[in-house]
Amino acid sequence: MNTIGQSLNLTIFGESHGPVIGCVIDGLPAGESVDTEFIEKQMKRRAPGRFPWETARKEEDQFEILSGVLNGRTEGTPLAAVIFNRGQHSKDYDKTRFIMRPGHADYTGNIKYGGWEDSRGGGHFSGRLTAPLVFAGALAQSILAKQGIHISAHILQVGSVLDTSYDPMGMDPSVWNKLREKDFPVLSDEAGQAMKDAIAQAKRKKDSLGGAVECMAEGVPAGWGSPFFDSLESSLAHMMFSIPAVKGISFGDGFDFASMRGKDAMDPLAYQDGRVVTEANHNGGINGGISNGMPILFRTAFKPVASIGMPQQTIDISEHKNTVLTLEGRHDPCIVPRAAVVVETAAAFVLLDAALERKRDRL
Ligand SMILES: Cc1cc2nc3c(=O)[nH]c(=O)nc-3n(C[C@H](O)[C@H](O)[C@H](O)COP(=O)(O)O)c2cc1C
């Protein structure tokens, strides 16, 4: 449904062209300061309309907290927040109301909700619904930061252009802040420029590009995750697949494990300064669905978005006939640059939930 989490619940609601979108967060610990400046900063990184390669849609993402916060601190009661929808061009969608965008959720949503759904701008399936997710995740991220847990995501890939990967053993903390300040979060600015060029070219061709985001969480202690079904990998994957357009996730060496030998895939255990570490991190910091104290590392793959300006073969459900769709409206040729902060903050939400679950393990 539209609620996720074990000890910490997040419910998301709204549609792209309704008056508001928003969330309710239940289970937050009381007395935590709410760093609105940090939340705003993270939400700005997701909002479109800032760069030439992005959709011209302006989404201000201005939020209002309605409950659960008093004098800047969480009350422990449900926190409700709304983000206002402004500047929608609903008319853009009138002409294509019954023409299903292939690869989008128009057809499947219509089947599920029997035509009662608001499909303007993607409705509840719009990438815009990631705004309340970033709100909730950024709040979780600021709470975790005070516990020494740092989460960071960068654009790993756009089309066939690759950024430098994170070192699975951990990164210098200065990298996290630098990435967060960048408009285009990549480790190699040269790769970043090649990605921007590829996006601009896709836009000129009225096409779109996919890519990948790499995310790392450092400082997570050993012991988080609730196997069987709520293993840390399961919970992160559940959250990541909830982000529209995510089509894959892998942890540590991921699919490369399939062709490796045991001796090369090993993460030898050792004591180092009285602390248990692993001397490699092929497993991305998780064993048996439980964090092992090493950096948690995973990658998510995003598909090239469906709304492209080229003519597309599809169906008209009002007339039950095949047709060709040529889309107007304002769309992103590549959402990966905006999606990095969505992955980063969504991961933070899952990790704060796991932290709270951990408190229930033993009396
Ligand atoms: C931040 C963000 C922005 C998005 N913008 C678009 C867009 O402009 N056009 C589009 O076709 N899809 C966009 N999407 C993806 C669609 O919402 C998604 O493909 C659709 O809901 C179908 O879901 P699926 O791709 O996961 O199957 C966006 C996704 C995100 C995360």
pLDDT in tens, 20-54: 999 999 999 999 999 999 999 999 999 987 777 66
Instruction: Give the model's pLDDT for residue 55.
Output: 60
Instruction: Give the model's pLDDT for residue 120.
Output: 87
Return d(Cα 136, Cα 86) in angstroms, integer: 21
Atom of ligand 1 nearest to the CA of 306: 11
User: What is the side-by-side order of every strand in the sheet holding 246-251?
Assistant: 161-162, 150-158, 211-218, 296-302, 246-251
Per-residue DSSP letter, 77: S
Q: Which of 50, 125, 242, 305 to mutate to test the pocket of ligand 1 (most atoms within 8 A of CB)?
A: 305
Instruction: Give the model's pLDDT for residue 362.
Output: 84
Q: What is the mean pLDDT of the chain?
A: 94
Return d(Cα 102, Cα 218) in angstroms, integer: 39
Percent of the chain with pLDDT over 90: 86
Instruction: Give the model's pLDDT for residue 329.
Output: 62
State the distance from the centre of ligand 1 to the C-alpha of 271, rounded, in angstroms: 45
Confidence band, pLDDT 50/70/90 cuts, at residue 230:
very high
Question: Measuring from each residue's beta carbon to the nearest atom of ligand 1, which residues come in under 6 Å?
Answer: 55, 104-105, 122, 125-127, 130, 243-245, 303, 305-307, 331-332, 335, 338-339, 342
Return d(Cα 311, Cα 315) in angstroms, integer: 13
Is 182's pLDDT higher than 80? yes
pLDDT tens per residue across span 65-122: 999 999 999 999 999 999 999 877 666 667 788 999 999 999 999 999 999 999 888 8
Return d(Cα 269, Cα 262) in angstroms, integer: 15
Going from the C-alpha of 319 to that of each of 92, 97, 100, 316, 324, the distances in angstroms are 20, 12, 12, 6, 13
State the distance from the centre of ligand 1 to the C-alpha of 245, rounded, in angstroms: 5
**Cβ atoms of 299 and 156 closer than 8 Å:** yes
Q: Which of 246, 335, 336, 345 to mutate to test the pocket of ligand 1 (most atoms within 8 A of CB)?
A: 335
Instruction: Give the model's pLDDT for residue 53.
Output: 63
Return d(Cα 20, Cα 60) in angstroms, integer: 12
Is 353's pLDDT higher than 80? yes
Return d(Cα 159, Cα 105) in angstroms, integer: 23
Instruction: Give the model's pLDDT for residue 64.
Output: 97
The string over 11-37, giving b where at least 16 C-beta atoms fall within 10 Å of a residue's C-beta and e elsewhere, is bbbbbbbeeebbbbbbbbeeebebbee
State the distance from the centre of ligand 1 to the C-alpha of 53, rounded, in angstroms: 16
State the distance from the centre of ligand 1 to the C-alpha of 334, rounded, in angstroms: 10
Q: pTM for the full model?
A: 0.96
pLDDT tens per residue across span 274-299: 999 999 999 999 999 999 999 999 99
pLDDT tens per residue across span 130-175: 999 999 999 999 999 999 999 999 999 999 999 999 999 999 989 9
Instruction: Give the model's pLDDT for residue 58.
Output: 61
Enter the tokens of residue 212. 């990948």
